[in-house]
Amino acid sequence: MVALRDVTLDLPRASSTAILGRSGAGKSTLVSVLALLRTPTAGDVRIGDVSAGGLDPIGRAHLRASEIGIVFQAFHLEPAFTVIENVMLPWHFAPHSERRRVARNWAHEILEILEIGELAARRPNQISGGQRQRVAIGRALFARPSLFIADEPTGNLDEETANGVADTILTLPARLGATVLVVTHDAVVAERADRRLTLVRGRLGPGDETR
Ligand SMILES: Nc1ncnc2c1ncn2[C@@H]1O[C@H](COP(=O)(O)OP(=O)(O)OP(=O)(O)O)[C@@H](O)[C@H]1O
Ligand SMILES: [Mg+2]
The bound ligand whose nearest atom lies closest to the alpha carbon of 186 is: 1
Domain at 73-199, CATH from 3.90.1150.10, 3.30.2030.30, 3.40.50.300, 3.20.20.10: 3.40.50.300
Sign of torsion over alpha carbons 69, 114, 135, 154:
negative
Residue 124 per-residue DSSP state: G
- pLDDT tens digits, one per residue of 119-166: 999 999 999 888 998 999 999 999 899 999 999 988 877 888 888 888
Q: If we measure between CA atoms, which residue out of 155, 199, 149 comes closest to residue 22?
A: 199
Check pocket membership of 29 for ligand 1, CB cut-off 6 A: yes
23 close to ligand 1 (CB < 6 Angstrom): yes
Nearest CA to ligand 1 atom 2: 29
At 19-58, the pLDDT tens digits run: 999 999 999 999 999 999 999 999 999 998 899 988 999 9
Closest ligand 1 atom to Cα of 25 = 21
Q: Which residues pair with 199 in a beta bridge?
A: 204
| CB contact at 8 A, 154 and 165 | yes
What does DSSP assign to residue 125? Answer: G
Give Rg (Cα) of the chain.
17
- Grade residue 99 by pLDDT with cuts at 50, 70 and 90: confident
pTM across the whole model: 0.89
Distance 11 CA to ligand 2 centre (A): 20
**Domain segments of the chain as ranges:** 73-199
Q: Sorting pLDDT into bands at 50, 70 and 90, what band is 13?
A: very high
> How is residue 158 annotated by DSSP?
-
